[in-house]
Amino acid sequence: KFKSFDELDVVTGEPVKLRDFVSLTKKIFQSSSKLNFGILPYRKGEVMTSSSNSFKLRSLGWKPEVTLKHGLKITKNEYFKKKNS
């Protein structure tokens, strides 16, 4: 059962390594930023993979329709559309 204001994670339910997410985002946005993965030592408890539960949304009949890559491309296009308008 949902509360009147409930937080819902809009996710596929598939975990994503943060390194993969950042690298994909850099590529899609054609960033010239240099990524220095591993330059700082790993810290205890540091999150390396992002995952979330889509159970609440799926219980409402929702299902993911785009991949992470496609979703980032949509986000990029919308960002630049609004920025240039």
* pLDDT, tens digit, 9 for 90 and up, residues 8-65: 777 787 889 999 999 999 999 999 999 999 899 989 998 888 888 888 888 888 888 8
pLDDT at 3: 63
Q: What is the mean pLDDT of residues 64-85?
A: 91
Give the span between the Cα atoms of 16 and 34, in whole angstroms: 21
pLDDT at 62: 86
The whole-model pTM stands at 0.75
pLDDT at 22: 95
Q: Which of 6, 78, 16 lies closest to 52, judged by CA?
A: 16
